[in-house]
Structure 1
Amino acid sequence: MTALTRISLANRALIALLAVVVIIFGLLGARMLKQELLPPIEFPQALVLSTYEGASPEAVESEVTEPLESALAGVAEVEQMDSTSSTGNSQIMVETSYGTDSDDIVRSLQRTVAQVEAQLPDGVEPQVITGSLDDFPVVMLAVTSDESQDRVAEQLENVVVPKLNDVPGVRNASVFGQQTQEVAITVRADDLEDEGASLEEIAQVLTANGVAVSAGSLSDDGTEKPVQVGTRLESVEQLRELVIMGADGPVRLDAVADVDLVDETQSSISRTNGQESLSLSITKTPSANTVEVSHGVAAALDEARSELGGSLEFVTVFDQAPFIEDSIESLAAEGMLGLVFAIVIILVFLLSARATVITAVSIPLSLLVALAGLWAGGYSLNLLTLAALTMAVGRVVDDSIVVVESIRRHHSLGTEKWQSIMSGVKEVAGAITSSTFITVAVFLPLALVQGEAGELFRPFAITSAIALLASLLVALTIVPVLAYWFLQRRVSRTKLRGDARKEMRTQRRSALAEWRAGRKQARAQRRRGAHAAPLPEPDEVLDQDEELRQPVLSRREKRRQEVLSTQRAIAEPPTRLQKSYLPVLRVAIAHPVLSVIAALLIFAGSMALTPLLKTDYIGDSGENTLMATQELPAGATLEETAEAAEQVEAILGEDADVESFQVTIGGDGYMSSPDPNVATFTVTLRPDSDVAAANERLGARFQELDEDAGEVELMSGGGFGGTSAMSVRVQSVDQEALTEATEQISETLSGLDGLSHVTNDLQPTQPFIEVRVDHEQAREEGFTEAEVGQIVMRAMRGQQLGSIVIDDITRTVQLYSDTPVETIQELRELELPVSQRQLQLAQEEAAEEAAEEAAQQQQQQAVPGAPQDPGAGQPQQPAAPAQPAPAEPEDVEVEPIQLDEIATVEEVTTAPSITRIDGQRAATVTAELSGDDVGAATRAVTAELDALDLPEGATADLGGVSQEQQEAFEQLGLAVGAAILIVFVIMVGTFRSFVQPLILLVSIPFMATGIVGALLLTDTALGVPAIIGVLMLVGIVVTNAIVLIDLINQYRRDGVPLRDAVLHGSRLRYRPILMTAAATIGALTPMALGLTGGGIFISAPLAIVVIGGLLSSTVLTLVLVPVLYVLVEGVKERRAEKRAVKNQVHDAALARAGAGSAPGAADATGAADATDASPGTADPGLAVGGGASAGHDRAPSASPAERQPEAPGTGGSDDAPAGDTWSRGAGEPQSGTGEPGATGHGDGPSHPDPGPDGGESGPGDSPEPRG
């Protein structure tokens, strides 16, 4: 990776230009990103709706729902089906897995429904509907006015809705709750009978008239003119003038019926702040910006309001934009505070404004690259992606901190600027690259997480990954260039020592000499009149790229410089910060077993506290909107429910935190129930109100209402995609067992602490008029069950005959009877229209009667024995019987039958709806959580369910938020395990070892100590955001450990003994590790505290977990990892020593055996051994003086003739830590790497150097470790 740095330094202007381009594209991307509350999610659900008018719930279940469920169960993608069969309606909710393409699901379901549609009753046409977050309204408005609702609806449809649909990004604007009018044709039965007409004739006349038909075109005077036949009906008067055929001739419609424009039967009621209102819902297209759509809607409403003269008042019931804008602004503010905190911390550690600026530049550049990447990838700026950017503020600076700290340290050792930058980057490039890839890789398993958590946090992972990769690129390219520009031009003299200062003076003199020689040559060329290129100034010569003036070094010389750099780094006296760390580290290394035991005890203690943790799913979003439902007993009318809702409205109107409220009863709005006995309230709180306190206060007030108010349930917004409710699904084949089990569970949950508002959807039975058709008798009379249902429905509710446009408003035309059915006896006596079967039978009966009458007449006219014609006396052929002429329909009178002749009409009791789950009847018990500990409530409910003795055949399973939490925790747990495996694989490739990665992985479990402590101290629940923080910590913890172990390994390769390498490597990495941890903690502190409150339900738990885990893991990285490294590598070294001793003994034995068998070769063998025992002397200038302290590893000493003077700063210095010096013989360090001139012999044993007296080293000496 240092090649990037070398290229960047050689092309500094180009790198600066690329940085400017990144800034421009990043700012452009931030401006172009659409703003949303959540990432776009397609719910893995599809709804199959069917209408079977007039059918009872049982009939709908058996004839519609069951056939559809059987067919849909064969679709491969279907995971679960929930159905509800009610009077005349069937709803089947089909659930699939997240990530399934909704269009493919719709096509599969439509094909399946089409195959089974022929088996369904006539007139039943199922529809397949899907939904996503884009179906949720962006804005919900309530419209009030002093004018009539019909007039208000007309203004909305003609003025407001068209303007809203013209707003860019608006998909649809719909009006709900309006009281419309219809054209009612009420037939007077007596007059109709007197005129000899029928209802069927009226229906035919109405459908055959008032239709304009295009008949083609004619050419007149060269002009093509269309021909239209007929005119449309446009008024009630024209309807009255329609002519029908009676028995005595044409009759006007108004002669047999009353034709009037009347109000439709009210099916819904909507009130806002206690005043009648209409609802206006606006949805957006998938690619639209939610905030821009909201602003466009507001502008369109202002325009419409001015056009209408202020006659309409718009009250905002729900608007996503303010919450999105507040959340984004708050998270952005927290990010800026975190940025400031991180910069201040870096400045405190580095004590250099220039170095701080170089480091801090990586933050905005990395974030801008992430913004540009989000824009290019089609993502949006929402709570999740913005939380990722805020979290990245503390992480993207880590690589730059490590690079800048390494460059400054090398620069302070006396090397030139270019060489300092290259050496510093080379020292840490591998470590930061590996650590960054690991941090990014931990997000890969999120792609495997299914469900809502995976859909929500996948953009979070992508945003974080882009920012981290960008930070690595910045650290290896832009940071070195900035370091070249902003670091001091010349190294301070006080920082230079010995040979380094002399080498720099020599290089400067050589550069000036070359410059002077060039200047003399240029002057000589000018005297001769030749052209000479201008020479640079002396300062430019001194500051030009050192690389251009460096000679090409051999591999041996490069290795020598690396070792020299290591010697200088170790020779540096410890700083005050390092002096506070070294005693702790020495004690820990001196007592490794006790250190490990202490760490294990701390870990065990933290694990013992885990039962005290609260668990949650995603948490409450903190929106200032509450939802409430008020349910009266089944059978309550719309008016009764509206009257009961006034009690709830009174409580809401008195509460100081309530800004506005709307109630909807019936209807088909997005957030309302179609049942007339259910009222739905949408409550908007003031922005500065305490949502939790208001929720608790209002809930208590609702519980104090009288019984006639029904059951009132208050719900907070809950987490994404659902509510905070816990549910228990009860299933049984037997209805009685289902009812008993449901009531038993409801009673049990009502007595549990932590649960409130326990309800179930097993509605009580209610009186029901059942018309049970006798299929055999009905078929005999020419009727089907569906036809009977249509006849009964028409007699009770009228018959819709189309529509008519009156005053630019479309009105439905409804045909009624003036004698509607009002009692059960009238329903039994309902006369059915004559069927074709009845008419055919009557005609056949009339024909038979006519044939019999004709035969009788022939018999009466015949006289026996008397010929009746001139051919008398001749034999006569018998006359054929006369064939009767078929009777015409108008010649046949058919007596209509009553309904009770083909059906049984009686009053029964039945449930108003039937619920099924996966084909089995079911009920759901729902309870609201009083607190935020989902785990405790789940355990309590599970224990109670296990203790219950349910009826035989009944089962109960947890659902709702408990099920969602369990599924999310299982999948995220697998993701954390997969992340650890990926990290291990990357580290094995980095260190080319299995043992050292295991040392680093040991630090991962110990981060739980800080996580548990932080969650308990802040009383934060462990939910999905917190587990995402744990996933991030896996990468963060390993990152610091990699940087530490990588430097220790470098020192050991340079020949530093094990303990010295650990002490010096840990000492030199102490500051950068502390800096990165402190910068990350400082950047996340505003999020953890929730200073601005935006997106706190996601960002706060995530930040708290990262801060707590980072605190404990940093301590363990700096103490436990070095201890484990010494333990493991010490064992390896001792084993290597034992193998070396064995090899020496074996070699000696072979030598003696060889000497005994070949006496003549003894002298040569001895000489060879002496040669092998002597150290290499190819590079005496590399010797380092100073002996190791007692008890430390000691390198073999050089022979007296080969000893060199002690290197500056390495021997006897008062500033050096006691016992941390190390000595080496002349030549290359004995690392066992097989470098030319090295004393070690490959992987073989190290031979001891001769002592001062020519003998071997003492027993306290130990061989050097192999790299």
Structure 2
Amino acid sequence: MLNRIIEFSLRNRMLVMIAGVVLLVAGTYTARKMEVDVFPDLNAPTVVVMTEASGMAAEEVERTVTFPIETAVNGATDVRRVRSSSTSGFSVVWVEFDWGTDIYLARQIVSEKLAALNETLPNNVGTPTLGPQSSILGELMIIGLTSDSTSLEELRTLADWTIRPRLLSTGGVAQVTVIGGDIKEYQILLDPARMKHFGVTTGEVLGVVENLTRNSSGGILNQHGNEYIIRGMLSTADEDEMGRAVIRIENGLPITLEQVADVRIGAKTPRLGTASERGKPAVLMTVTKQPNTNSLELTEKLDRAVAELSETLPADVHVSTDSFRQARFIEGSIDNIQKSLFEGAVFVVIVLLVFLMNFRTTVISLVALPLSLLVSILALKWMGLTINTMSLGGMAIAIGSLVDDAIIDVENVFKRLRENFARPKDQRLPTLSIVFEASKEIRTSVVHATIITIVAFVPLFFLDGMEGRMLRPLGISFIVALFASMIVAVTLTPVLCSYLLTGDRVLRRNEKEPVVSRFLKRVYRRALEWVLAHKKAVLGSTVVLFAGALAVFLSLGRSFLPPFNEGSLTINASTMPGISLEESDKIGSQVESILLEIPEIRTVVRKTGRAELDEHALGVGVSEIEAPYELADRSRSEFMADVRSRLGVLHGVNIEIGQPISHRIDAMLSGTKANIAIKLFGPDLNRLFALGNRIKSSIANIDGIADLNVEQQIERPQLQIRPKREMLARYGITLPAFAEFVEVALGGRVVSQVYDEGRSFDVTVKASDASRNDMERIGELMLDGTDGKVPLSYVADIVSTSGPNAIGRENAQRLIVVSANVADRDLRSVVNEIGETIRTQVPMPEGYHVEYGGQFESEQAASRTLTLTSLVALLVIFLLLYQEFRSLKIAGVILLNLPLALIGGVASLWLTSGEVSIPAIIGFISLLGIATRNGILLVSHYNHLRDEGMPLHESVVQGSLDRLNPILMTALSSALALIPLALGGNLPGNEIQSPMAKVILGGLLSSTLLNGFIIPSVYLIVNRKKPKA
């Protein structure tokens, strides 16, 4: 079949050329239009259910809101894990589905479960709301508003009603979350004494306020040929007019709202969170994109929208977008990987020019590069994937291999054309016939080598979870590009050879081999003859090298993914629960001040607490800080050590330091924004917290642990109002009426909304600040009884106590998490030591158990999968080799390249990172195929020469010399093309590809060097007893 393809191409040369140009144009157009992102979609199908439960304590939220929601969704189709957090006034439940579940189906399943649940939730609880459909990498930008004279209330109103709607109208935006400033509301502050004086009940006030903002309809009036809509304009946005609303008429005199309450415009309380920029109070807006949206294009649209909005804002309002921009990391990553691609291509060109010393042969070989890469992009587009660092990384790793098929073809064709030209003119064969025969001669072995390289990459597609999502596009782009290069080599390459290499002038100028080739062959012949004369010593030394490499490999550390270099820090600073937002804000400001003193940090923004209906269920004691930085005179490790040292002076504050994307990946893997999550499960929160602290103390001195924290699920102060049921009965107060009074008077109830010029503001009824901000005054609040007003202290006990600040759950079990990051040590050894320490020093009581989550869990699962599938791939490679050579011995000889490649791959890891990560394992897997190629070329040529009647020893020597050029060219082009990636591992975008490149580079160097001597030696040994006839 391959021969027919080559023959068809040579007969239809113009058609093949046109097809190549069409592919070039289509691929270029598609590449310019494709979505660009930093990573593939890594989001596990997750539906977030958020429920506001204003004023409820954490245990009430857990019992009456979270638990029913968990029960409803647990066991639903394809649900793999349910996590939740119940805090004061807020419940968030994360429903995680199996990988591959359609997110729209997942949301439908959860919506159906919630629809049946709504009627069972308490009346004072908001409707459960599904979070926006977005990716964990969907947070694109943080927009900050600051001002010297505009009030925080006006800033927040601008953000909520001017900027946010404009941003949401930008196509591709999923959510804009606003935090900071003061939320404007109309407040009806009840005065218990004045209400008692006028005999006004809370119910009467609620009834009046409910109708304050309702307009009425009077039908339609037809007059003078016009139709008039009649409206009763009761609604008002003026607080003075609200105060004059009549509650009832008493003795002919009106009792108005302002007589029993203060009506004013104020800031919504309690505040859930606050924000700042560079230590200055601010309003922050976090913009989240929808899935499958081009991040760079959307960022440009947002920049234009912000620029337009800035012109309409007050002159003193400053808008900033530089504190967090995912586009900065994307652009840097894509630029770096493209630079690596370009530099790799330059190395390939240099290798071809040095070895071929012919511009035309170099051009023919290089044509495979752009065509193969563009075909890969077309395949990515067809599969609905994006251009990202992973897909570009696959191309960068493949770039040296893409010209291999063309190099071998061109080198053999040019050699045969020169031989034909050297014959007498009357004995020369037609040039097209020579091109065809020369292509056919090496085609089978080259195609088998390419297929084997592709088979070696197949284990990548068996990875599950996030690592599968991340690395699969790399495998797709590598395999498609390699397959495309093979197609180019059997179609376009022979056609170009027939056009560019068949002229007499070209052949006359290149009758002799290039100088470099002749020199290398002279040196190689001497070395090979010496090795063949000392086979046992050389083979023995190689075995020792392999054994040493194996020992070193087993001693190397293990990690999941290399650390990213995002150019920004995400710092969580948490204080003891129960602290007020004001005090937490002060501590957050201290953290900001310390960070701004570090010269590399450019700016700082901080969010303390949480925004309304924000799935990040942070209490007021937690601050999240984004700090972009730019390294100059110090390394990243020195910079990070300085940050940790400076923040370590803050006593009573738990600090966790990460990076925006890394933080979110950790959160997706384990539910905790840290590398390691030690999950303690059990029924009693206090005991869980005590066990967590024991674990923290026992592992604190383990080398490599950083940012060690115990989740602060502890008791916080509570004021419990417990009704005396017999007293309620005496005064004729029902339990629902009692509960409503506590809710309205102390927590406040949003009764209606005021609409003012297209904006909506809550109208809230509650007791005045003076009567509810003091424990003693609370007891003096007056309830409505059947015979008049009754003090709250008469019908209820007011008790100061404590209760949990937050309650975390996973799969319907309470848990507390001890989290840690890893610094300057490999992940697996740290986890192993943690596990052994906990097992021996912190025994678990009955009903309590420990589970481990985080990156190491994924690393172990991925390593197992890759190991098993690699063994299968190795077996398939062996069968393919047997299929080609019909000899178990020959197949075994070729597979000797694998241990030879292992030597260099292990050496490169040992000399650089000292760790085996998942990308490094993939690098070793890649070597299964890449290193086998040279062995196939050698052995197939040995067999070809022996079939022509050449003696065994001469066929080995001559075959090795004949294949020296193509082997060196393919190996050097593949290896040198990887140098930019291998050396640029600290650059954004290159972090994951760099370990792969290092392994492949080292493996190619060792396998190529040893392949030229070990394969000939072993081939002689296995064939000397039975020479071919």
| Superposition TM-score, scaled by structure 2 size | 0.90
Q: Does residue 1:648 correspond to 2:591, yes or no?
A: yes
Alignment of 1:842-921 (within 5 A): 893-894=786-787, 905-921=798-814
Q: From the superposition, tell whether residues 671 and 949 of structure 1 become closer, same or farther in structure 2 (CA, over 3 Å).
A: closer
Contact 2:199 2:788 in 1 (8 A): no
Alignment of 1:1191-1202 (within 5 A): none
1:617 to 560, 573, 581: 560
Q: What's the counterpart of residue 547 of structure 2? A: 604
The alpha carbon displacement at 1:76 in A equals 4.1
Q: From the superposition, tell whether residues 770 and 152 of structure 1 become closer, same or farther in structure 2 (CA, over 3 Å).
A: closer
Q: What's the counterpart of residue 383 of structure 1? A: 389
Q: What's the counterpart of residue 260 of structure 1? A: 264
Q: What's the counterpart of residue 1185 of structure 1? A: none
Quick check: 153-162 or 1007-1016, which moved more? 153-162
The alpha carbon displacement at 1:934 in A equals 1.5
1:933 to 796, 810, 826: 826
Q: What's the counterpart of residue 151 of structure 2? A: 148
Structure 1: how far apart are the matches of 2:975 and 2:877? 23
Q: Does residue 1:746 correspond to 2:752, yes or no?
A: no
String of CA shifts for 1:886-941, please: whole Å, max 9, x gaps.
Answer: xxxxxxx4467666777654333333222233333322111222225223322322
Q: From the superposition, tell whether residues 967 and 216 of structure 1 become closer, same or farther in structure 2 (CA, over 3 Å).
A: farther
Structure 1: how far apart are the matches of 2:728 and 2:1006? 81
Q: Greater relative contact order: 1 or 2 (C-alpha under 8 angstroms, separation 6 or more)?
A: 2
1:983 to 848, 852, 877: 877
Structure 1: how far apart are the matches of 2:305 and 2:52? 37
Quick check: 216-225 or 172-181, which moved more? 216-225
Structure 1: how far apart are the matches of 2:142 and 2:566? 15
The alpha carbon displacement at 1:1055 in A equals 4.4
Q: Unmatched 5+ residue regions in structure 2? A: 421-427, 667-672
String of CA shifts for 1:926-963, please: whole Å, max 9, x gaps.
Answer: 12222252233223223322322414233333322222
Q: What's the counterpart of residue 42 of structure 2? A: 41
Structure 2: how far apart are the matches of 1:433 and 1:786? 80
Quick check: 393-402 or 202-211, which moved more? 202-211
Q: Does residue 1:821 correspond to 2:772, yes or no?
A: yes
Letter aligned with residue 821 of structure 1: R
Contact 2:674 2:819 in 1 (8 A): no
Alignment of 1:1039-1188 (within 5 A): 1039-1090=933-984, 1093-1130=987-1024, 1133=1026
Structure 2: how far apart are the matches of 1:157 and 1:52? 22
Letter aligned with residue 87 of structure 1: S
Contact 2:417 2:507 in 1 (8 A): no
1:193 to 184, 191, 196: 196
String of CA shifts for 1:1160-1200, please: whole Å, max 9, x gaps.
Answer: xxxxxxxxxxxxxxxxxxxxxxxxxxxxxxxxx5xxxxxxx
Contact 1:616 1:932 in 2 (8 A): no
The alpha carbon displacement at 1:38 in A equals 1.4
Q: What's the counterpart of residue 484 of structure 2? A: 470
Alignment of 1:343-354 (within 5 A): 343-354=349-360
Contact 1:305 1:311 in 2 (8 A): no
Q: Does residue 1:686 correspond to 2:630, yes or no?
A: yes
Contact 1:795 1:820 in 2 (8 A): no
- 1:701 alignment partner, SS class: helix
Q: Does residue 1:457 correspond to 2:471, yes or no?
A: yes
Contact 1:5 1:476 in 2 (8 A): yes
Q: Does residue 1:58 correspond to 2:37, yes or no?
A: no
Letter aligned with residue 45 of structure 1: T
The alpha carbon displacement at 1:27 in A equals 1.7
Contact 2:771 2:778 in 1 (8 A): no
String of CA shifts for 1:532-573, please: whole Å, max 9, x gaps.
Answer: xxxxxxxxxxxxxxxxxxxxxxxxxxxxxxxxxxxxx9xxxx
Q: What's the counterpart of residue 669 of structure 2? A: none
Q: Does residue 1:1021 correspond to 2:904, yes or no?
A: no
Structure 2: how far apart are the matches of 1:150 and 1:361? 63
Structure 2: how far apart are the matches of 1:1002 and 1:781? 94
Q: From the superposition, tell whether residues 736 and 686 of structure 1 become closer, same or farther in structure 2 (CA, over 3 Å).
A: closer
Q: What's the counterpart of residue 839 of structure 1? A: none
Letter aligned with residue 245 of structure 1: R
Q: What's the counterpart of residue 334 of structure 1? A: 340
Q: Does residue 1:393 correspond to 2:405, yes or no?
A: no
Q: What's the counterpart of residue 100 of structure 2? A: 99
- 2:772 alignment partner, SS class: coil
Contact 1:195 1:246 in 2 (8 A): no
Q: What's the counterpart of residue 697 of structure 1? A: 642
Q: Unmatched 5+ residue regions in structure 1? A: 498-568, 835-892, 1134-1192, 1194-1263
- 1:931 alignment partner, SS class: coil
String of CA shifts for 1:715-744, please: whole Å, max 9, x gaps.
Answer: 345747125532211223455553342122
Contact 2:688 2:816 in 1 (8 A): yes
The alpha carbon displacement at 1:200 in A equals 1.0
Quick check: 641-650 or 153-162, which moved more? 153-162
Q: From the superposition, tell whether residues 139 and 646 of structure 1 become closer, same or farther in structure 2 (CA, over 3 Å).
A: closer
**Percent of aligned positions that are identical:** 26
- 1:712 alignment partner, SS class: strand
Quick check: 359-368 or 241-250, which moved more? 241-250
Q: What's the counterpart of residue 629 of structure 1? A: 572
- 1:442 alignment partner, SS class: helix
Letter aligned with residue 144 of structure 1: T
Contact 1:181 1:264 in 2 (8 A): yes
Structure 2: how far apart are the matches of 1:27 and 1:1010? 37
The alpha carbon displacement at 1:109 in A equals 2.8
- 2:560 alignment partner, SS class: coil
String of CA shifts for 1:103-160, please: whole Å, max 9, x gaps.
Answer: 2222223333444555544444444436542773212121111222233334445554
String of CA shifts for 1:299-345, please: whole Å, max 9, x gaps.
Answer: 33333333446432222211122222222222212211111111111
Structure 2: how far apart are the matches of 1:484 and 1:189? 100
Structure 2: how far apart are the matches of 1:1118 and 1:993? 21
Contact 2:157 2:183 in 1 (8 A): no
String of CA shifts for 1:403-444, please: whole Å, max 9, x gaps.
Answer: 011112222322542232111110111122222222223333
String of CA shifts for 1:837-892, please: whole Å, max 9, x gaps.
Answer: xxxxxxxxxxxxxxxxxxxxxxxxxxxxxxxxxxxxxxxxxxxxxxxxxxxxxxxx
Letter aligned with residue 1049 of structure 1: N
- 2:7 alignment partner, SS class: helix
Contact 1:35 1:382 in 2 (8 A): yes
Quick check: 286-295 or 694-703, which moved more? 286-295
Contact 1:144 1:278 in 2 (8 A): yes
The alpha carbon displacement at 1:626 in A equals 0.7
Q: Does residue 1:446 correspond to 2:448, yes or no?
A: no
The alpha carbon displacement at 1:1014 in A equals 0.3
The alpha carbon displacement at 1:1078 in A equals 0.5
Q: What's the counterpart of residue 969 of structure 1? A: 863
Letter aligned with residue 142 of structure 1: G
Alignment of 1:93-132 (within 5 A): 93-117=94-118, 119-124=120-125, 125-129=127-131, 132=134
The alpha carbon displacement at 1:652 in A equals 2.0
Q: From the superposition, tell whether residues 996 and 73 of structure 1 become closer, same or farther in structure 2 (CA, over 3 Å).
A: farther
Contact 1:330 1:1092 in 2 (8 A): no
1:314 to 310, 319, 343: 319
Q: From the superposition, tell whether residues 48 and 161 of structure 1 become closer, same or farther in structure 2 (CA, over 3 Å).
A: closer
The alpha carbon displacement at 1:259 in A equals 1.5
Quick check: 461-470 or 778-787, which moved more? 778-787
Q: From the superposition, tell whether residues 932 and 300 of structure 1 become closer, same or farther in structure 2 (CA, over 3 Å).
A: farther
Letter aligned with residue 626 of structure 1: L
| Superposition TM-score, scaled by structure 1 size | 0.74
1:234 to 237, 242, 261: 237
Q: What's the counterpart of residue 2 of structure 1? A: 3
String of CA shifts for 1:495-529, please: whole Å, max 9, x gaps.
Answer: 999xxxxxxxxxxxxxxxxxxxxxxxxxxxxxxxx
Q: What's the counterpart of residue 423 of structure 2? A: none
Q: What's the counterpart of residue 275 of structure 1? A: 280
Q: What's the counterpart of residue 304 of structure 2? A: 299
Letter aligned with residue 94 of structure 1: V
Structure 1: how far apart are the matches of 2:933 and 2:730? 85
- 1:753 alignment partner, SS class: coil
Structure 2: how far apart are the matches of 1:575 and 1:955? 70
Q: From the superposition, tell whether residues 1117 and 775 of structure 1 become closer, same or farther in structure 2 (CA, over 3 Å).
A: farther
- 2:605 alignment partner, SS class: strand
1:138 to 137, 140, 149: 140
Alignment of 1:562-573 (within 5 A): none
